[in-house]
Structure 1
Amino acid sequence: MVLARRPATEADIPACLAVYAAARRFMAASGNPGQWGSSWPPAALVAEDVFAGRLWVTEEGGRVCGCFAVCLGDEPSYASIDGEWLDASPYVTLHRVASDGSARGVLAAAVEQARSENPHVRVDTHRDNAPMLRALAAQGLSPRGTVTVHDGTERLAFELA
Protein backbone atom coordinates (compact mmCIF):
# COMPACT_ATOMS: atom_id res chain seq x y z
CA MET A 1 0.00 0.00 0.00
CA VAL A 2 1.29 3.46 -0.89
CA LEU A 3 0.55 6.05 1.76
CA ALA A 4 -1.04 9.38 0.96
CA ARG A 5 1.61 12.02 0.40
CA ARG A 6 1.65 15.76 0.04
CA PRO A 7 4.10 18.65 0.22
CA ALA A 8 4.94 19.56 3.81
CA THR A 9 3.82 22.91 5.16
CA GLU A 10 5.18 25.06 7.95
CA ALA A 11 2.45 23.63 10.20
CA ASP A 12 3.92 20.13 9.62
CA ILE A 13 7.35 20.97 11.05
CA PRO A 14 6.59 19.77 14.62
CA ALA A 15 5.16 16.48 13.28
CA CYS A 16 8.21 16.03 11.04
CA LEU A 17 10.56 16.63 13.95
CA ALA A 18 8.66 13.98 15.91
CA VAL A 19 8.97 11.55 12.97
CA TYR A 20 12.71 12.16 12.79
CA ALA A 21 13.06 11.64 16.56
CA ALA A 22 11.19 8.33 16.30
CA ALA A 23 13.36 7.29 13.35
CA ARG A 24 16.57 8.09 15.29
CA ARG A 25 15.36 5.95 18.20
CA PHE A 26 14.52 3.10 15.83
CA MET A 27 17.88 3.33 14.06
CA ALA A 28 19.75 3.27 17.36
CA ALA A 29 17.73 0.27 18.57
CA SER A 30 18.38 -1.48 15.23
CA GLY A 31 22.16 -1.22 15.47
CA ASN A 32 22.59 2.05 13.59
CA PRO A 33 23.12 4.75 16.23
CA GLY A 34 25.69 6.72 14.24
CA GLN A 35 23.92 7.62 11.01
CA TRP A 36 21.75 10.40 12.44
CA GLY A 37 23.10 10.51 15.98
CA SER A 38 20.86 12.30 18.45
CA SER A 39 19.95 15.39 16.44
CA TRP A 40 19.95 14.86 12.67
CA PRO A 41 18.29 16.42 10.82
CA PRO A 42 18.29 19.69 12.74
CA ALA A 43 15.08 21.70 12.94
CA ALA A 44 16.60 24.46 10.80
CA LEU A 45 17.19 22.00 7.94
CA VAL A 46 13.66 20.61 8.23
CA ALA A 47 12.29 24.16 8.00
CA GLU A 48 14.62 24.93 5.07
CA ASP A 49 13.34 21.79 3.29
CA VAL A 50 9.73 22.93 3.83
CA PHE A 51 10.30 26.47 2.59
CA ALA A 52 12.30 25.20 -0.42
CA GLY A 53 9.40 22.93 -1.38
CA ARG A 54 11.42 19.73 -1.18
CA LEU A 55 9.97 18.17 1.99
CA TRP A 56 7.04 15.80 1.65
CA VAL A 57 4.98 14.07 4.31
CA THR A 58 3.16 10.77 4.23
CA GLU A 59 -0.11 10.41 6.04
CA GLU A 60 -2.28 7.63 7.28
CA GLY A 61 -5.71 8.57 8.53
CA GLY A 62 -4.81 12.27 8.24
CA ARG A 63 -1.84 11.90 10.62
CA VAL A 64 1.76 12.51 9.50
CA CYS A 65 3.66 9.22 9.82
CA GLY A 66 6.67 9.84 7.58
CA CYS A 67 8.62 12.43 5.69
CA PHE A 68 11.29 12.69 3.03
CA ALA A 69 13.09 15.29 0.93
CA VAL A 70 13.14 15.16 -2.88
CA CYS A 71 16.15 17.19 -3.98
CA LEU A 72 16.54 18.33 -7.58
CA GLY A 73 19.93 18.90 -9.15
CA ASP A 74 23.30 17.36 -8.57
CA GLU A 75 24.15 16.06 -5.11
CA PRO A 76 27.76 17.16 -4.38
CA SER A 77 28.46 13.93 -2.46
CA TYR A 78 27.72 11.92 -5.59
CA ALA A 79 30.38 13.58 -7.78
CA SER A 80 32.90 10.96 -6.67
CA ILE A 81 31.89 7.35 -6.13
CA ASP A 82 33.89 4.24 -5.30
CA GLY A 83 31.88 2.29 -7.84
CA GLU A 84 29.92 3.39 -10.89
CA TRP A 85 26.60 5.07 -11.51
CA LEU A 86 24.29 3.42 -14.05
CA ASP A 87 23.36 6.63 -15.79
CA ALA A 88 24.92 10.11 -16.03
CA SER A 89 21.62 11.86 -16.90
CA PRO A 90 19.98 14.40 -14.54
CA TYR A 91 18.52 12.81 -11.40
CA VAL A 92 16.68 13.52 -8.18
CA THR A 93 18.02 12.53 -4.80
CA LEU A 94 16.01 11.24 -1.88
CA HIS A 95 17.27 12.50 1.47
CA ARG A 96 16.08 12.27 5.07
CA VAL A 97 13.56 9.46 4.47
CA ALA A 98 11.97 8.65 7.83
CA SER A 99 9.00 6.93 9.40
CA ASP A 100 7.62 7.08 12.91
CA GLY A 101 7.06 3.31 12.67
CA SER A 102 3.27 3.47 12.70
CA ALA A 103 2.78 2.70 9.00
CA ARG A 104 4.60 0.89 6.25
CA GLY A 105 5.33 2.35 2.84
CA VAL A 106 7.16 5.62 3.44
CA LEU A 107 10.04 4.69 1.13
CA ALA A 108 7.61 3.46 -1.54
CA ALA A 109 5.81 6.81 -1.39
CA ALA A 110 9.14 8.65 -1.54
CA VAL A 111 10.32 6.69 -4.59
CA GLU A 112 6.97 7.23 -6.31
CA GLN A 113 7.14 10.98 -5.66
CA ALA A 114 10.76 11.20 -6.79
CA ARG A 115 10.00 9.27 -9.99
CA SER A 116 7.11 11.62 -10.73
CA GLU A 117 9.69 14.42 -10.81
CA ASN A 118 12.40 12.47 -12.66
CA PRO A 119 12.53 8.72 -13.34
CA HIS A 120 16.25 8.73 -12.46
CA VAL A 121 16.56 8.48 -8.67
CA ARG A 122 19.58 8.26 -6.38
CA VAL A 123 19.78 7.74 -2.62
CA ASP A 124 22.38 6.79 -0.04
CA THR A 125 22.32 5.24 3.41
CA HIS A 126 24.62 4.04 6.14
CA ARG A 127 25.90 0.48 5.83
CA ASP A 128 24.45 -0.27 9.31
CA ASN A 129 20.93 0.75 8.27
CA ALA A 130 19.72 -2.80 7.57
CA PRO A 131 15.98 -1.92 7.40
CA MET A 132 16.65 0.79 4.79
CA LEU A 133 18.96 -1.50 2.82
CA ARG A 134 16.18 -4.09 2.58
CA ALA A 135 13.61 -1.44 1.66
CA LEU A 136 15.84 0.02 -1.07
CA ALA A 137 16.27 -3.43 -2.63
CA ALA A 138 12.51 -4.02 -2.43
CA GLN A 139 11.93 -0.76 -4.33
CA GLY A 140 14.28 -1.82 -7.12
CA LEU A 141 17.19 0.49 -6.32
CA SER A 142 20.52 -1.12 -7.16
CA PRO A 143 23.72 -0.71 -5.14
CA ARG A 144 26.28 1.37 -7.02
CA GLY A 145 29.18 1.86 -4.61
CA THR A 146 30.29 4.10 -1.79
CA VAL A 147 30.15 7.89 -1.51
CA THR A 148 31.44 10.28 1.13
CA VAL A 149 28.83 12.67 2.50
CA HIS A 150 29.06 16.21 3.92
CA ASP A 151 30.35 15.10 7.34
CA GLY A 152 33.16 12.97 5.87
CA THR A 153 31.52 9.59 6.55
CA GLU A 154 30.81 6.92 3.97
CA ARG A 155 27.41 5.88 2.69
CA LEU A 156 26.27 3.15 0.37
CA ALA A 157 24.84 4.65 -2.81
CA PHE A 158 21.84 3.32 -4.76
CA GLU A 159 20.25 4.21 -8.05
CA LEU A 160 17.07 3.63 -10.00
CA ALA A 161 17.51 4.62 -13.63
Structure 2
Amino acid sequence: MLMRRAHIEDLNAIKQIIFEGKELLSKQGVNQWQDGYPNTDSLINDIRNQWTVVLEENGEILGTAAVIPGTDDSYENLDGIWLSNGPYVSIHRVAVSNHHHGRGLSQKLFEAIYDVVKNVNGINSIRVDTNPDNLGMQHVIKKAGFIETGKVVPISATQNTKIRNYAYERLIKQPLLV
Protein backbone atom coordinates (compact mmCIF):
# COMPACT_ATOMS: atom_id res chain seq x y z
CA MET A 1 0.00 0.00 0.00
CA LEU A 2 1.36 3.41 -0.91
CA MET A 3 0.30 7.02 -0.86
CA ARG A 4 0.96 9.08 -3.95
CA ARG A 5 -0.06 12.36 -5.54
CA ALA A 6 -3.22 12.02 -7.64
CA HIS A 7 -3.34 12.50 -11.40
CA ILE A 8 -6.30 13.69 -13.46
CA GLU A 9 -6.72 10.08 -14.66
CA ASP A 10 -7.63 9.21 -11.06
CA LEU A 11 -10.61 11.58 -11.05
CA ASN A 12 -13.33 8.97 -11.64
CA ALA A 13 -12.08 6.75 -8.82
CA ILE A 14 -11.79 9.76 -6.50
CA LYS A 15 -15.30 10.94 -7.42
CA GLN A 16 -16.67 7.45 -6.68
CA ILE A 17 -15.02 7.36 -3.26
CA ILE A 18 -16.30 10.85 -2.42
CA PHE A 19 -19.80 9.82 -3.58
CA GLU A 20 -19.64 6.74 -1.33
CA GLY A 21 -18.55 8.97 1.54
CA LYS A 22 -21.51 11.28 0.96
CA GLU A 23 -23.89 8.31 0.97
CA LEU A 24 -22.42 6.90 4.17
CA LEU A 25 -22.66 10.26 5.94
CA SER A 26 -26.28 10.59 4.81
CA LYS A 27 -27.14 7.11 6.13
CA GLN A 28 -25.53 8.04 9.45
CA GLY A 29 -27.59 11.24 9.64
CA VAL A 30 -24.50 13.44 9.38
CA ASN A 31 -25.23 16.72 7.60
CA GLN A 32 -21.79 16.92 6.02
CA TRP A 33 -21.18 16.89 2.25
CA GLN A 34 -24.95 16.82 1.67
CA ASP A 35 -25.19 20.12 -0.23
CA GLY A 36 -23.28 19.20 -3.39
CA TYR A 37 -19.83 19.76 -1.93
CA PRO A 38 -17.30 18.46 -2.68
CA ASN A 39 -18.18 18.57 -6.35
CA THR A 40 -16.31 17.63 -9.51
CA ASP A 41 -14.93 21.16 -9.96
CA SER A 42 -13.43 21.20 -6.45
CA LEU A 43 -11.89 17.75 -6.96
CA ILE A 44 -10.38 18.78 -10.31
CA ASN A 45 -9.02 21.94 -8.71
CA ASP A 46 -7.42 19.89 -5.94
CA ILE A 47 -5.76 17.55 -8.46
CA ARG A 48 -4.53 20.40 -10.69
CA ASN A 49 -3.04 22.17 -7.67
CA GLN A 50 -1.33 18.89 -6.71
CA TRP A 51 -3.13 18.82 -3.37
CA THR A 52 -4.85 15.46 -3.78
CA VAL A 53 -3.20 12.33 -2.51
CA VAL A 54 -4.51 8.80 -2.90
CA LEU A 55 -3.90 5.61 -0.98
CA GLU A 56 -3.36 2.85 -3.51
CA GLU A 57 -2.97 -0.91 -3.35
CA ASN A 58 -2.41 -3.19 -6.35
CA GLY A 59 -3.45 -0.39 -8.71
CA GLU A 60 -6.74 0.29 -6.87
CA ILE A 61 -7.38 3.64 -5.21
CA LEU A 62 -8.63 2.96 -1.70
CA GLY A 63 -8.74 6.45 -0.23
CA THR A 64 -8.20 10.12 -0.95
CA ALA A 65 -7.53 13.43 0.78
CA ALA A 66 -6.60 16.98 -0.14
CA VAL A 67 -3.42 18.14 1.61
CA ILE A 68 -3.25 21.89 1.19
CA PRO A 69 -0.24 24.06 2.11
CA GLY A 70 -0.57 27.66 3.21
CA THR A 71 -3.11 29.62 5.15
CA ASP A 72 -6.62 28.15 5.16
CA ASP A 73 -9.35 30.80 5.38
CA SER A 74 -11.56 28.36 7.32
CA TYR A 75 -8.99 28.40 10.11
CA GLU A 76 -8.58 32.16 10.44
CA ASN A 77 -11.43 32.52 12.94
CA LEU A 78 -11.01 29.71 15.42
CA ASP A 79 -13.19 29.74 18.50
CA GLY A 80 -10.35 28.31 20.58
CA ILE A 81 -6.55 28.30 20.46
CA TRP A 82 -4.29 26.69 17.86
CA LEU A 83 -1.31 24.75 19.19
CA SER A 84 1.08 26.69 16.94
CA ASN A 85 1.17 29.94 15.03
CA GLY A 86 3.62 28.82 12.38
CA PRO A 87 3.18 27.44 8.86
CA TYR A 88 0.87 24.44 8.52
CA VAL A 89 -0.86 22.24 6.00
CA SER A 90 -4.58 21.45 6.06
CA ILE A 91 -6.26 18.15 5.35
CA HIS A 92 -9.67 18.25 3.68
CA ARG A 93 -11.99 15.97 1.72
CA VAL A 94 -10.89 12.70 3.35
CA ALA A 95 -12.70 9.57 2.19
CA VAL A 96 -12.04 5.86 1.78
CA SER A 97 -13.71 3.27 -0.42
CA ASN A 98 -16.82 1.62 1.05
CA HIS A 99 -15.48 -1.67 -0.29
CA HIS A 100 -12.58 -1.53 2.15
CA HIS A 101 -14.11 -0.24 5.40
CA GLY A 102 -12.79 -1.89 8.53
CA ARG A 103 -9.18 -1.99 7.33
CA GLY A 104 -8.10 1.21 9.09
CA LEU A 105 -7.50 2.98 5.79
CA SER A 106 -8.34 6.45 7.11
CA GLN A 107 -5.76 5.93 9.84
CA LYS A 108 -3.18 4.73 7.31
CA LEU A 109 -3.91 7.74 5.12
CA PHE A 110 -3.46 10.19 8.02
CA GLU A 111 -0.21 8.53 9.07
CA ALA A 112 1.14 8.52 5.50
CA ILE A 113 0.34 12.24 5.22
CA TYR A 114 2.07 12.93 8.53
CA ASP A 115 5.13 10.93 7.46
CA VAL A 116 5.50 13.09 4.35
CA VAL A 117 4.71 16.44 5.98
CA LYS A 118 7.06 15.90 8.93
CA ASN A 119 9.96 15.96 6.46
CA VAL A 120 8.97 19.29 4.90
CA ASN A 121 11.12 22.06 6.32
CA GLY A 122 9.27 24.94 7.89
CA ILE A 123 5.93 23.22 8.49
CA ASN A 124 4.96 23.36 12.16
CA SER A 125 1.71 21.44 12.13
CA ILE A 126 -1.19 19.81 10.31
CA ARG A 127 -4.76 21.06 10.77
CA VAL A 128 -8.06 19.35 10.03
CA ASP A 129 -11.72 19.85 10.90
CA THR A 130 -14.90 17.81 10.79
CA ASN A 131 -18.62 18.08 11.40
CA PRO A 132 -19.69 17.71 15.07
CA ASP A 133 -21.92 14.76 14.11
CA ASN A 134 -19.18 12.89 12.21
CA LEU A 135 -18.14 10.69 15.12
CA GLY A 136 -16.22 8.26 12.91
CA MET A 137 -13.92 10.95 11.53
CA GLN A 138 -13.50 12.48 14.99
CA HIS A 139 -12.30 9.09 16.22
CA VAL A 140 -9.85 8.71 13.31
CA ILE A 141 -8.49 12.24 13.78
CA LYS A 142 -7.92 11.81 17.51
CA LYS A 143 -6.38 8.35 17.04
CA ALA A 144 -3.98 9.91 14.50
CA GLY A 145 -2.58 12.16 17.24
CA PHE A 146 -4.55 15.35 16.62
CA ILE A 147 -5.66 17.56 19.51
CA GLU A 148 -9.03 19.32 19.46
CA THR A 149 -8.38 23.07 19.50
CA GLY A 150 -11.82 24.66 19.10
CA LYS A 151 -14.46 25.26 16.46
CA VAL A 152 -14.41 26.80 12.98
CA VAL A 153 -16.95 27.66 10.30
CA PRO A 154 -15.85 25.74 7.21
CA ILE A 155 -15.41 27.71 3.98
CA SER A 156 -17.58 25.12 2.24
CA ALA A 157 -20.52 26.01 4.49
CA THR A 158 -23.24 28.09 2.96
CA GLN A 159 -23.62 31.60 4.33
CA ASN A 160 -26.92 30.74 6.00
CA THR A 161 -25.57 27.81 7.97
CA LYS A 162 -24.44 27.91 11.56
CA ILE A 163 -22.31 24.78 11.26
CA ARG A 164 -19.24 24.99 13.43
CA ASN A 165 -16.87 22.12 12.82
CA TYR A 166 -14.52 20.75 15.43
CA ALA A 167 -10.95 21.82 14.61
CA TYR A 168 -7.85 19.75 15.34
CA GLU A 169 -4.11 20.21 15.07
CA ARG A 170 -1.12 17.88 15.20
CA LEU A 171 2.29 19.36 15.78
CA ILE A 172 5.25 18.30 13.69
CA LYS A 173 8.21 17.30 15.78
CA GLN A 174 11.16 19.23 14.45
CA PRO A 175 14.66 17.81 15.06
CA LEU A 176 16.67 19.63 17.67
CA LEU A 177 19.66 21.58 16.41
CA VAL A 178 22.93 20.50 18.00
* TM-score, normalised via structure 2 length: 0.82
Structure 1 residue ranges, 4+ long, deviating more than 6 angstroms after superposition: none
Higher-Rg structure is: 2
Provide closer, same or farther for how the CA distance between residues 99 and 116 of structure 1 changes in structure 2, counting only shifts above 3 A: farther
Provide closer, same or farther for how the CA distance between residues 115 and 49 of structure 1 changes in structure 2, counting only shifts above 3 A: same
Structure 1 counterpart of 2:76: 79
Once the two structures are TM-superposed, the CA of residue 25 in structure 1 deviates from its matched residue by: 1.3
Contact 1:97/1:107 (8 A) holds in 2: no
Structure 2 counterpart of 1:64: 61
Q: Give the aligned residue type for 2:88.
A: Y
Could you tell which deviates more after superposition, 53-62 or 104-113?
Answer: 104-113
* TM-score, normalised via structure 1 length: 0.91
Structure 2 counterpart of 1:142: 147
Structure 1 counterpart of 2:32: 35
Distance between the aligned counterparts of 2:35 and 2:54, measured in 1? 21
User: Structure 2: any 5+ residue segments left out of the alignment?
Assistant: 172-178
Structure 1 counterpart of 2:131: 126
Check if 1:154 corresponds to 2:154. no
Q: Give the aligned residue type for 1:106.
A: L
Distance between the aligned counterparts of 1:137 and 1:149, measured in 2? 19
3-state secondary structure, aligned to 1:132: helix
3-state secondary structure, aligned to 1:80: coil
For 1:108-123, list aligned pairs within 5 A: 108-117=111-120, 118-123=123-128
Q: Give the aligned residue type for 1:15.
A: A
Distance between the aligned counterparts of 1:112 and 1:23, measured in 2? 24
User: Structure 1: any 5+ residue segments left out of the alignment?
Assistant: none
Distance between the aligned counterparts of 2:117 and 2:146, measured in 1? 12
3-state secondary structure, aligned to 2:64: strand
Structure 1 counterpart of 2:23: 25
Could you tell which deviates more after superposition, 102-111 or 78-87?
Answer: 102-111
Contact 1:72/1:93 (8 A) holds in 2: yes
3-state secondary structure, aligned to 1:106: helix
Q: Give the aligned residue type for 2:90.
A: T
Residues 33-63 of structure 1 show CA distances to partners (whole Å, capped at 9, x for unaligned) of x110063210011111111111111112220
3-state secondary structure, aligned to 1:124: strand
RMSD of the TM alignment (CA)? 1.6
Structure 2 counterpart of 1:106: 109
Once the two structures are TM-superposed, the CA of residue 106 in structure 1 deviates from its matched residue by: 2.9
